[in-house]
Amino acid sequence: MKLTVVRIGTYTLVALVLAVALRYTPRLPEPDRKPAEVLVQQAATPTWKLRFDTLGRGESLRSVLRRGGLSDSAAALALEAASSLDERHIPAGMPVTIKSVAADSSPSEITLQLAADRLLHLRREGNAWKGDEERLPWTTDTIVVAGTISSNLYNAMDASAKDELPSSARQQLAWSLADVYEYRVDMSRDLQVGDAFKVVAERSVAPSGTVRIGKVIAAAFTLSGTVIDAVRFASESVSGEFFDQNGKSLRAAFLRAPLEFRRISSVFGMREHPILGGVRQHKGTDYAAAMGTPVRAIGDGVIVRAGWSNGYGNVLEIRHRNGYVTRYGHLSRYASGIGVGRHVSIGQTVAYVGSTGLSTGPHLHFEVLVNGVQRDPRVALKATGGDPVPADERNAFDAARDRLLAALASPTQGVAKLTPSAQVAATADSSR
């Protein structure tokens, strides 16, 4: 144990140190980080001891408290006061601050950082303990992120925002952007080198520094020279949260992919069969994904086949309107209640990725048949948009579109924060 003594000459500075230490605990450290103690002494007042520790992997919270100087009985009483705490769901690495008078071996206050914005204070009053939960305020602003595709969306987001957003926030924003365009763009297949994106999104920062991405407000994707705008608009009669620049809902009859933004291992066309060898027409698309990844129906329909089929292994077929049938192969299992004749909805989980049949590893084989003929899913599922904004909402949509697209004007690369006035204008129509 490392003991560091900090002597501070003025009351103001000591108060600041204590406030920061107790109120705004730093980001989660590594679970195996060694505990540290700090002695803080100020004129005419007792010397306080602050112990900073973390919950280790597989360790109980009682062990941390005992390490901090509490007896078994005192630790039990303190945890009884933590009525909102479920010890079974405490993650390893949770910061724990234990405060006591240096001359008194029994701690008088414990602070648990349950989340980035949630602290639980346990304070000793005589032999009893009292628990109080505190919510820390987040600060929220609106940012614009712009990037250019060099290989995939993840790498483009990293290159554009690595200095302004942590890795988790960049990944979250990439997923959110993919969700906005999931009826128009398959981010795993449709992107080409040189394509570009811009996205306006809300960003929240906790006192600990944790960053979260909120809702996307507007976006623009340039695909092979064609721009597809996405404007958040709450229509009273048309489904979907986003509309393109022409006022058509981005929600269409079919999703572009049966998995949520996963890497594809093989695209439609000629390839060498991984098991049978030789070059064969691969009439579908393979999505590489972990075993058990949920498979979703790309559109409303009725299940017409669910069972074993030679090289496909466990296969599922769904009949949709207009003569479309989608086929999902190599499944590990089917979702609960799935069977022939069952009606399913777009986006519903119908099965799980596996490696049954002629398969070298976990992946989903996906096909689209139109009037009984296998078609390239990239072509067959290409959509131009859903229903348009009705005439009585058109003026409101046009005004919202113009404001939101103006927010996308800059930057051309990287991250920019909207000014307060621009932020108010951009978020005025994004309450939904």
Q: The tokens of 70 are what?
A: 């509490």
Asked if residue 314 belongs to a domain, the reply is yes
Chain segment 18-49, per-residue pLDDT in tens: 444 444 444 444 444 567 766 665 555 667 78
Same domain? 104 vs 39: yes
Give CA–CA dist 158/360, Å, rounded: 31
Got the DSSP string for 144-198? EEEEE-SS-HHHHHHHHHTTTS-HHHHHHHHHHHHHHTTTT--TTTS--TT-EEE
Cα separations in angstroms, 265 against 75, 120, 191, 284, 368: 53, 46, 15, 11, 17
Q: What is the CATH number of the domain that holds 44?
A: 3.10.450.350
Same domain? 272 vs 362: yes
Asked if residue 190 belongs to a domain, the reply is yes
Res 13: pLDDT: 36
Asked if residue 257 belongs to a domain, the reply is no
Asked if residue 408 belongs to a domain, the reply is yes
Same domain? 373 vs 391: no
Asked if residue 259 belongs to a domain, the reply is no
Segments forming the whole domain that contains residue 243: 139-252+386-427
Got the DSSP string for 241-282? SEE-TTSBBS--SS-S-SSSS--EEE-SEEEE-TTT-SEEEE
352 - beta bridge partners? 294, 333
Chain segment 64-105, per-residue pLDDT in tens: 999 988 889 889 999 899 887 887 788 888 999 999 887 666
Give CA–CA dist 190/224, Å, rounded: 9
Give CA–CA dist 256/40, Å, rounded: 60
Q: Which residues contact 382 (CB under 8 A, 6 or more apart)?
A: none
Same domain? 116 vs 91: yes
Q: The tokens of 419 are what?
A: 């000014």
Residue with tokens 């009984």: 372
The candidate with the shortest Cα–Cα distance to 168, out of 205, 220, 123, is 205
Asked if residue 131 belongs to a domain, the reply is yes
Same domain? 177 vs 248: yes
Strands 211-223 and 264-266, sheet pairing:
unpaired
Strand runs labelled E in 1-64: 2-7, 36-41, 48-54
Q: Name the domain boundary from 135, 162, 197.
A: 135
Residue 77: phi and psi, rounded to 5, are -65, -40
Same domain? 235 vs 184: yes
Same domain? 371 vs 397: no
Same domain? 295 vs 392: no
pLDDT at 268 over 90: no
* Cβ–Cβ < 8 Å for 143, 193: no
The candidate with the shortest Cα–Cα distance to 175, out of 157, 193, 150, 190, is 157
Chain segment 199-213, per-residue pLDDT in tens: 999 999 988 788 999
Q: Label residue 224 left, alpha or beta by phi (over 0 means left) and psi (-120 to 50 means alpha).
A: left
Confidence tier at 174 by pLDDT (50, 70, 90):
very high
Q: What is the CATH number of the domain that holds 330?
A: 2.70.70.10
Same domain? 281 vs 225: no
Asked if residue 432 belongs to a domain, the reply is no
Res 381: pLDDT: 87
* Three-state secondary structure call for residue 304: strand
Asked if residue 422 belongs to a domain, the reply is yes
Q: The tokens of 146 are what?
A: 């712009």
Same domain? 236 vs 344: no
Res 210: pLDDT: 87
* Cβ–Cβ < 8 Å for 241, 432: yes
Same domain? 198 vs 90: no
| Across 29-43, 162-176, 352-366, 373-387, least confident range | 29-43
DSSP type of residue 393: G
Residue with tokens 């498979």: 295
Same domain? 186 vs 215: yes
Q: Name the domain boundary from 135, 152, 181.
A: 135
Res 24: pLDDT: 42
Give CA–CA dist 37/59, Å, rounded: 20
Give CA–CA dist 3/102, Å, rounded: 12
Give CA–CA dist 75/68, Å, rounded: 10
Could you count the other beta carbons within 10 Å of the beta carbon of residue 316? 26
Q: Name the domain boundary from 106, 135, 164.
A: 135
Mean pLDDT of the residues in the chain? 83
Q: What is the domain count for the chain?
A: 3
Give CA–CA dist 158/2, Å, rounded: 38
| Across 115-119, 198-202, 280-284, least confident range | 280-284
